[in-house]
């Protein structure tokens, strides 16, 4: 059981907007910033969102992140077939004194 809770799967059709949630606690999301990672099949993870809502250069503005209290969300608008991937949230947990990840959400583009 992961410290950060994500839905195991999500889906949408091309052009749609989908959101992926990440639920934590006051010792992790409530205390530190959240990052989101995209892992395309057979490849290494890639940073998608950092510091809750910032996009690294090169990441399309279709991807956005937000945080409220002990939960965070990743939104993908204008869904494209190449967005089909696993998505992970991550942050630091001050009680565990360790970095923690969500269990991952597999996004399917129908």
What residues line the site for other proteins (CB under 8 A)? 2, 33, 35, 37, 44-47, 50, 56, 86, 88, 90-92, 96-104
Q: Reduced to 3 DSSP states, what percent helix, strand and coil does the chain have, rounded to the nearest 5?
A: 5, 50, 50
CB of 39 to other proteins, least distance (A): 8
Nearer CB in complex with other proteins: 1/81: 1
User: Is the distance from CB of 6 to CB of 71 less than 8 angstroms?
Assistant: no
Nearer CB in complex with other proteins: 13/43: 43
Nearer CB in complex with other proteins: 16/54: 54
Tokens standing for 83?
């967005």
Comparing CA positions, the residue from 42, 50, 41, 43 lying closest to residue 90 is 50
CB of 20 to other proteins, least distance (A): 14
């Amino acid at each position: 059981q992961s410290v950060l809770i994500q839905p195991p799967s999500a889906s949408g059709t091309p052009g749609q907007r989908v959101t992926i949630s990440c639920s934590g606690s006051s010792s992790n999301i409530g205390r530190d910033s959240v990052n989101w990672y995209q892992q395309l099949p057979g490849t290494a993870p890639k940073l998608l969102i950092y510091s809750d809502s910032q996009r690294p250069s090169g990441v399309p503005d279709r991807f956005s992140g937000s945080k409220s209290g002990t939960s965070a969300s990743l939104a993908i608008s204008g869904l494209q077939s190449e967005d089909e991937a696993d998505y992970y949230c991550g942050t630091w947990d001050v009680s565990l004194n360790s970095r923690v990840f969500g269990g991952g959400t597999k996004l399917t583009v129908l």
